[in-house]
Structure 1
Amino acid sequence: MSRATFPALFIPQNDNGVRNEKELEAEGESHRGRDAEKKREGMESPFKADILRGKVGLITGGGSGIGFELSTQFGKHGASVAIMGRRKSVLDAAVSSLRSLGIQAVGFEGDVRKPEDARRVVESTFQHFGRIDILVNAAAGNFLASPEDLSPNGFRTVMDIDAVGTFTMCHAALKYLMKGGLGRGSSEGGGSIINISATLHYTAAWYQIHVSAAKAAVDALARNLALEWGTDYDIRVNGIAPGPIADTPGMSKLAPDEINSKARDYMPLFKLGEKWDIAMAALYLVSDAGKFVNGTMIPVDGGLWLSKPRHLQKDAVRQLSRAVEKRSRDKPVGVPSSKL
């Protein structure tokens, strides 16, 4: 796909149009150089290594992408972690990797859309670790589609995974997260919930009507639960809205190999986010550093949501979507079981 067809998702414009490509290229090269130097130096956590000592986190979608990074960083900061997903091979590999770092980790197969799976995984986590302090709802579905090309089943599937799945997991975990709940001491407060959301619905987004609707629902869930469960059960509920994050399944779908190399040129900070960035925001929210933060959605997108996306021709989107779907179905694992 040519650079000319790229702008729909990532090229911002103002009332005067898109910035000159030569200016973008020059500025982008400068920022990329600084980014590469920073990455070579490594990124160290600003939090103490024991900030989550004694806590137990359950992360849906925790076997890959952002969810796996959250699992890793929670574990590195003292927490025990349980990860939930639908693919046993992915879970096994993730748990093995976490344990190799000295992290107490366990994986459970399950589908967040199914209440019986949610209850089983939550109960298994409690039986394994004796408590649950943190729930992260990171399981999600995404793909590019115009409204007329999107089937009702495709729309429903994303709503079920993102919105219904989030509520289902929260509902199953309530009795463990609430103040005075199972496994919690009499003097302990309630736990913490983080929903991984998006910024797509803050304005509107091309070819993302299904995800925009689902994430709007996820944010509404967070605010309402923060109000009611914060009051009744001392549970804090917040959200994190990532932007384009490098080396994630979502990025491979929304900006795959054909265009990924140019994506950072159109970011306000001239770089893609890192999974580490999302994990640091999550550590803040679930630790005592964020003990008075409740009902808040934190965008971690480099300011991209402030930009105005340009239109991308639908034929280009269809071509891109077919290429992404073909690569996904050619993989030995991770083939979607439901037709979108």
Structure 2
Amino acid sequence: MEGIFQSGALKGCVAFITGGGSGINLEIGRALGSLGASIGICGRNADRLEGASNVLRAKGADVFTAVADVRDFDAVQSAMDGCRDALGPVTFLVCGAAGNFLSPAESMSANGFKTVIDIDLMGAFNAARAGFEQLKETRGSILFISGGQSWVPFAYQAHVGAAKAGIDNLMANLALEWGPYGIRSNSIVPGPIEGTEGMQRMGGDEQRDIWEAMTPLGRMGRAQEVAAMAAFLASPAASFVSGARIPVDGGQNLTGSHVFNAAIAKQFNRANP
């Protein structure tokens, strides 16, 4: 974030990031840490968290890690309490843990659908609820990582669409209800971001030409570009921004999903939805 934000712009910020061990969430942590924030991360994989903590410490950040499954409220609460003990009360909560896979709705198991709802939507609520008292104390803010499926239907993404739409509605409700406590709530809607696990689950590099054709800016995004928006929302510059759903997608949400749907339908040997 050097050259974009003033050095030390987030000094005193304590960020807690679910799913913070990899991908966009780790890049958000790296951006915040480079600006002076202390970073707490949780996830299910201890080895991944250890690697991520090394990346964050290399940016000069104080780091706390906890193994926790966001589907388990008590585990999330324990992780956030531990973060407070180690770094101080949370001022910026990033609800980023997510799951995804491609599946026709009629072939998807009830457990498969529920798993994504539980990780994405229940996990987001669990983190927000577990962080409420700390955020109330600091008059902090929550950032939800949503997805384009929340407002544009994508084939074979019924589970993710339901989860992300729920996340955006939850974001808006918390902005309304918790605003009087001084807590802001917003969501970022990333578009096609290269090199991420989420992108691999949506077809990966094989679909790069398709995503570029679907995006008015004509390219895929970079995790650093999502992280820059997160850093803005964590900063005092965004102190009157709440209830906002902000696309960081090069305009991809404007073009719909038809081209993607047609390409993925071929993989399943099905008619284009």
Query: TM-score of the superposition, structure 2-length normalised?
Result: 0.93
Is 2:150–2:168's contact at 8 Å kept on the other side of the alignment? no
Q: Secondary structure at the match of 2:105?
A: coil
Q: Report 1 or 2 for greater relative contact order, CA contacts < 8 Å, sequence distance ≥ 6.
A: 1
Q: Which runs of 5+ in 1 are unaligned?
A: 1-42, 185-189, 320-340
Is 1:210 the equivalent of 2:159? Answer: yes
Is 1:163–1:217's contact at 8 Å kept on the other side of the alignment? yes
Partner of 1:99: 57
Partner of 2:33: 75
Question: What is the Cα deviation at residue 51 of structure 1?
Answer: 1.2
Q: Secondary structure at the match of 1:239?
A: strand
Mapping 1:103-118, distance limit 5 Å: 103-118=61-76
Partner of 1:56: 14
Question: What is the Cα deviation at residue 275 of structure 1?
Answer: 0.5
Q: Provide the aligned length of Structure 1 versus Structure 2.
A: 267
| Residue among 289, 293, 298 paired with 2:237 | 289
Is 2:15–2:90's contact at 8 Å kept on the other side of the alignment? yes
Is 1:225 the equivalent of 2:183? Answer: no
Q: Secondary structure at the match of 1:144?
A: coil
Is 1:316 the equivalent of 2:263? Answer: no
Is 2:71–2:118's contact at 8 Å kept on the other side of the alignment? yes
Mapping 1:107-146, distance limit 5 Å: 107-146=65-104
Q: Secondary structure at the match of 2:106?
A: coil
Letter in 2 for 1:280: A
State the distance in 1 between where 2:267 and 2:160 align: 16
Which string of whole-angstrom CA distances, capped at 9 and with x for unpartnered residues, describes residues 171-201 of structure 1?
11111110xx2xx5xxxxx001000001213
Which string of whole-angstrom CA distances, capped at 9 and with x for unpartnered residues, describes residues 60-86 of structure 1?
111100000000000001100011100
Q: Which runs of 5+ in 2 are unaligned?
A: none
Mapping 1:230-309, distance limit 5 Å: 230-231=179-180, 233-260=181-208, 263-309=211-257
| Residue among 95, 116, 134 paired with 1:176 | 134
State the distance in 2 between where 1:238 and 1:81 align: 19
Question: What is the Cα deviation at residue 131 of structure 1?
Answer: 1.6
Letter in 1 for 2:103: A
Question: What is the Cα deviation at residue 283 of structure 1?
Answer: 1.1
State the distance in 2 between where 1:77 and 1:256 align: 31
Letter in 2 for 1:91: L
Query: TM-score of the superposition, structure 1-length normalised?
Result: 0.75
Give the alignment's Cα RMSD to 1 decimal. 1.6
Q: Secondary structure at the match of 2:17?
A: strand
| Residue among 122, 140, 147 paired with 1:191 | 140
State the distance in 1 between where 2:265 and 2:109 align: 17
State the distance in 1 between where 2:8 and 2:263 align: 50
State the distance in 2 between where 1:168 and 1:132 align: 15
Which string of whole-angstrom CA distances, capped at 9 and with x for unpartnered residues, describes residues 257-283 of structure 1?
333355324421111011011111111
Which string of whole-angstrom CA distances, capped at 9 and with x for unpartnered residues, describes residues 202-236 of structure 1?
132111111110001001110000001012x1100
State the distance in 2 between where 1:102 and 1:200 align: 35
Is 1:86 the equivalent of 2:44? Answer: yes
Is 1:255–1:263's contact at 8 Å kept on the other side of the alignment? no
